Amino acid sequence: MACIQKTLRGLGVLRQLPRESTVNQTYCRYASSYKYLQVDLDKKTKVAHLTLARKPANSLNCDMMKEIAMATNELDQDRDCKGIIINSCVPNIFSAGLDLTELYQAKELFFQDFWRSLQAMFSTIYGTKVVTMAAIEGHAPAAGCIIALATDYRVMSEGKFNIGLNESMLGIPMNFWVKDAFIATCGQREGERALQLGQMFIPSTALQIGLVDEVVPQELTLPTVQKHMKQWVKVPGGARGLTKSLIRQQAMDNLKAKADEDLLIMTRHMLSQPIQNTIGAYLENMTKKSKR
Ligand SMILES: CCCCCCCCCCCC/C=C/CC(=O)SCCNC(=O)CCNC(=O)[C@H](O)C(C)(C)COP(=O)(O)OP(=O)(O)OC[C@H]1O[C@@H](n2cnc3c(N)ncnc32)[C@H](O)[C@@H]1OP(=O)(O)O
* 85-126 per-position pLDDT tens digit: 999 999 999 999 999 999 999 999 999 999 999 999 999 999
Residue 48 parent element (H or E): strand 47-52
Minimal-distance CA residue to ligand 1 atom 39: 57
Minimal-distance CA residue to ligand 1 atom 33: 96
Mean pLDDT of all residues in 32-37: 88
Using a 6 Å CB cutoff, which residues line ligand 1? 56-57, 59, 92-93, 96-101, 139, 141-143, 146, 166-167, 170, 172, 174-175, 178, 278-279, 282, 286, 289-290
pLDDT exceeds 70 at position 51: yes
Measured between alpha carbons, how far is 138 from 162 in angstroms, rounded to an integer? 7
Of the chain, the percentage scoring pLDDT greater than 90 comes to 83
Collect all residues with Cβ–Cβ distance below 8 Å to 148 and sequence separation of at least 6. Answer: 86, 94, 134, 136, 140, 154, 163, 212
Burial of 290 (0-12, 13-18, 19+ CB in 10 A): exposed
Bridge-based pairing of strands 200-201 and 163-164 is antiparallel
Q: Provide the sign of the torsion angle of the four alpha carbons 168, 85, 51, 64, taken in this order.
A: negative
Mean pLDDT of all residues in 253-267: 97
The pLDDT score that the predictor gives to residue 118 is 98
Q: Coil, helix or strand for 24?
A: coil
113, amino acid identity: D
Q: How many residues comprise the chain?
A: 292
Measured between alpha carbons, how far is 234 from 224 in angstroms, rounded to an integer? 16
ipTM: 0.94
Tens-place pLDDT, residues 140-161 = 999 999 999 999 999 999 999 9
Determine the residue of 100, 165, 266, 271 to mutate for testing ligand 1's pocket, defined as the one with the most ligand atoms within 8 A of the Cβ atom: 100
Whether residue 204 contacts residue 163, with contact meaning beta carbons closer than 8 Å, is answered with no
- Which residues are paired to 98 by β-bridges? 60
Determine the residue of 59, 179, 201, 263 to mutate for testing ligand 1's pocket, defined as the one with the most ligand atoms within 8 A of the Cβ atom: 59
Measured between alpha carbons, how far is 286 from 166 in angstroms, rounded to an integer? 16
